[in-house]
Chains A and B, each alone.
Chain A
Amino acid sequence: MKKFGLAKLRLQFQIIYTIITNGYVYGFFTGKIYKGPLKYACVPGLNCYSCPGAIGSCPLGALQNALAKNKVEVPFAVLGFLFVFGSIFGRFVCGWMCPFGLFQDLLFKIPFLHKRKRLPGHNILKYGKYVMLFGLVILGSLMLLGGFVKSPAFCKYICPSGTLMGALPLMAANADLRALAGGLFGWKLAILIVLTLVSVIIYRPFCQYLCPLGAIYGWFNRFSLVQVHWEKEKCIACGKCQKSCPVDLKPEEISVSPECIKCGKCATVCPADCIHFPAKR
């Protein structure tokens, strides 16, 4: 695996995954979305179901929609998807199966003078994704924000994936939707532009600081099936793994930390062969 080039394999996997899960090409030309039976199921990553190419449902959008219903009920179906995906993959979903993660990965490849792994104040800012999860996704959907109708607050006010994958291609192909764009669209477009610019300098700022789905999968990271395994006894404490880690994790934090996206870079650089990805079982 190491000689094969895990980074290249991951990039290829991300691209192929994104193409397959957004493979309804007809939608991009007509400004319409897929309405087939695959939309009964959620995809693992943050993938707006209003993307013209999307063939599955967004788990975060579906969760908010369930919570925003007038008659509140436990969203069993969406939680089922999240438990299954989370228990098997953890944040491997973020590293390998999220179109918006791929978008940020590609932006970070653009050459820039001062690349940084984290924003200043990272240890506080990293809790932003939990604020998004509990504040906007859960409470925001349950409460009547901005009027008398419940709405999926994170999708409505923040989600840059919806703007990038849903709004922009739909509006490009659909003049009626273009005519409806107003202040809210401008706000969401501004968020997308800021995140796009910051992603050139900082590694995956949305995933590290804002993504509620990452917060959910981070909870599963410690015990998910897909793991990066570190053998403490064999470690020579050279620090190469932390240096290569895109989110700057220490070896003892790898895989168990809610921040680890299981990209596997640490395993490819370890000279002592004490980091294994996928973990030996």
Chain B
Amino acid sequence: MSRQSKKIPKWIWGVSAGLLLFVAGFATQQYDDIYNKAIMICLECIGIG
């Protein structure tokens, strides 16, 4: 097998990094922050905050 065919595509590294960040986000309970912000009407977003 040539060296070229063994090379891992960069997008796989990107997805892997993303998955690691997911885990880190889960460990630090950041999904709760995303959810808590998203279920309230964001007054800044609609221009009255």
- What is the interface of chain A, defined by CB distance below 8 A to chain B? 33-35, 37, 39-42, 48-50, 54, 56-58, 61-62, 65-66, 69, 73-88, 151-152, 155-156, 159, 162-163, 166-167, 170-171, 177, 180-182, 184-189, 220, 223-225
Tell me if A223 and B34 are in contact (CB < 8 A).
Answer: no
Tell me if B14 and A39 are in contact (CB < 8 A).
Answer: no
Bound state CA distance, A170 and B21, in angstroms?
33
In the A-B complex, the 10 residue pairs with the smallest Cβ-Cβ separation, listed nearest first, are A77-B25, A87-B14, A83-B18, A80-B21, A84-B18, A185-B47, A223-B10, A167-B46, A162-B45, A76-B24
Q: Assuming A62-B37, A88-B15, is B22 touching A77 (CB within 8 A)?
A: yes
Bound state CA distance, A76 and B36, in angstroms?
16
Give B41's nearest chain A residue, CB to CB: A50
Residues on B with C-beta less than 8 A from A33 are 39, 41
A-B contact pairs, 9 of them (CB 8 A): A35-B39, A77-B24, A80-B24, A86-B14, A87-B15, A151-B44, A163-B46, A177-B41, A186-B47
Residues on A with C-beta less than 8 A from B38 are 39, 49, 54, 56-58, 61-62
Bound state CA distance, A176 and B33, in angstroms?
26
Tell me if A166 and B42 are in contact (CB < 8 A).
Answer: yes
Which of A76, A82, A155, A181 has the largest number of chain B CB atoms within 10 A?
Answer: A76
- What is the interface of chain B, defined by CB distance below 8 A to chain A? 9-15, 17-26, 28, 30-31, 33-35, 37-39, 41-49
**Main SS class of interface, B:** helix
Tell me if B17 and A83 are in contact (CB < 8 A).
Answer: yes
Bound state CA distance, A35 and B31, in angstroms?
14
Contact of A184 among B18, B31, B48 (CB under 8 A): B48
Tell me if A223 and B46 are in contact (CB < 8 A).
Answer: no
Q: Assuming A50-B41, A57-B34, A223-B10, is B15 touching A83 (CB within 8 A)?
A: yes
User: Nearest-CB distance from B1 to chain A (Å)?
Assistant: 17
Q: Assuming A42-B34, A88-B11, is B39 touching A162 (CB within 8 A)?
A: no
Other than A48-B42, A76-B25, A87-B14, give 13 A-B pairs with Cβ distance below 8 A: A35-B39, A41-B34, A57-B34, A61-B42, A75-B30, A78-B34, A79-B18, A87-B11, A156-B49, A166-B42, A184-B48, A220-B14, A223-B11
Tell me if B42 and A84 are in contact (CB < 8 A).
Answer: no
Residues on B with C-beta less than 8 A from A220 are 11, 14
Which of A74, A85, A87 has the largest number of chain B CB atoms within 10 A?
Answer: A87
Q: Assuming A166-B42, A177-B41, is B49 touching A39 (CB within 8 A)?
A: no
Which of A79, A88, A152 has the largest number of chain B CB atoms within 10 A?
Answer: A79
Tell me if A83 and B21 are in contact (CB < 8 A).
Answer: yes
Contact of B47 among A35, A39, A189 (CB under 8 A): A189
Bound state CA distance, A54 and B42, in angstroms?
13
User: Nearest-CB distance from A145 to chain B (Å)?
Assistant: 11
Residues on B with C-beta less than 8 A from A159 are 45
Bound state CA distance, A8 and B12, in angstroms?
30
Residues on B with C-beta less than 8 A from A189 are 47
Residues on B with C-beta less than 8 A from A180 are 43, 48
